[in-house]
Amino acid sequence: MTPRELLGRWLSRQIPTEAWTWLDKSVAQIRNSGKDADLYLAVSLVTRKVGKADLKLTEADQRDAHSSRSGWDPRQWSVDQAARIMLILELESDPLRLARALEQLCNTADVGEQAAFYRGLPLYPEQPRYIARATEGLRTNMKAVFEAIAHRNPYPSEQFPEPAWNQMVLKALFVGATLWPIIGLDRRANPELARMLCDYAHERWSAGRPVSPELWRCVGPYASGTMLQDLERVLKKGTEPERAAVALALHASRESAAVSLLEREPALTKSLARGDLSWERIVAPN
């Protein structure tokens, strides 16, 4: 099944009959009229007609999602987001028209619509077309919109050039978004990002502000020289979550200096060996 078909299946199962009738009629209208204005109106009306409940998915649904589009993770979608993306995908056979219509929709979007349009990024045809739109979206200061792009979304790691990727990770820390839900975080780690993150940590230390333990995750694999000194500093002076984060970061490094730093921490080494430490648990202990 295509993602569009899956969205239809999930929605028809969950939303009230009259809401589904409306959605089905709107889809037909968009298909038959060929007028973008019908799409704009239907997309705006979605919350009024369909509501905003969480989209209810089973584990089998999640597997279907993943096999119809690898990396697609709709677990935290809501029904309005699903319906809006389903309406937009009605244009998928004409990628240029879809791209133009989406640009128009983004230009007049409310907060909820922005989040929906960006969550849909991995599903639009001709994926590279949307790089500029996605990086524009990340300039927002609205955390919900930022996270719609950065979290549980395979699009950035697949499409972003390195500078855009690095800006996204750094900005996540700035806006207080967690890093662990970013897809491809480890795969896209790079020396330049490690340097930027260490500089950022120094800025925070100079200002007497806390540094997110997650920051060290993208530093670990490329830590050398002064970066290892930074990690050592956190091991010595950090809180327990920070020390656990540094242990995980060092564990990802092949540098002999990193290995020997870790060897000086028998308790943390033991926790690592037992598999007690994970990035997710460092941020959300429960």
Partner 1 sequence: MRFIDPHIHMSARTTDDYERMAAAGVVAVIEPAFWLGQPRTNSGSYLDYLSSLVGWERFRAAQFGIHHYCAIGLNAKEANNAALAEEVIALLPRYLLKEGVVALGEIGYDDQTPAEDKCYRAQLDMAKELDMVVMVHTPHRDKKTGTITSMKVAEEHGVAPGRVIIDHNNEETVEDVLNRGFWAAFTLYPHTKMGNERMVEIARRYGSEHIFVDSSSDWGVSDPLAVPKTAQLMLERGIKADDVEKICYGNALTAYGQSGQIKDSDWLDPAPIDQRNLFEGNSVLRGQQARVDELQQIPDRLKDVVFK
Judged by the rule CB under 8 A, the positions of this chain that interact with partner 1 are: 37, 40-41, 44-45, 47-48, 52-54, 78, 107-115, 141-144
| Euclidean distance between CA atoms 179 and 183, whole angstroms | 9
CB atoms within 10 A of CB 76: 15
- Judged by CB, which is closer to partner 1: 74, or 220? 74
Closest residue by Cα to residue 13 from 72, 45, 67, 60 = 60
Nearest approach in angstroms of CB 160 to partner 1 is: 24
- Judged by CB, which is closer to partner 1: 14, or 114? 114
- Judged by CB, which is closer to partner 1: 51, or 184? 51
Nearest approach in angstroms of CB 144 to partner 1 is: 4
Nearest approach in angstroms of CB 111 to partner 1 is: 5
- Judged by CB, which is closer to partner 1: 33, or 67? 33
Nearest approach in angstroms of CB 19 to partner 1 is: 14
- Judged by CB, which is closer to partner 1: 28, or 53? 53
Angstrom distances, CA of residue 38 to CA of 11, 26, 34, 103, 105 = 20, 8, 8, 15, 12
Nearest approach in angstroms of CB 53 to partner 1 is: 7
Q: Is 272 exposed, middle or buried (0-12, 13-18, 19+ CB in 10 A)?
A: middle
Q: Is 284 exposed, middle or buried (0-12, 13-18, 19+ CB in 10 A)?
A: exposed
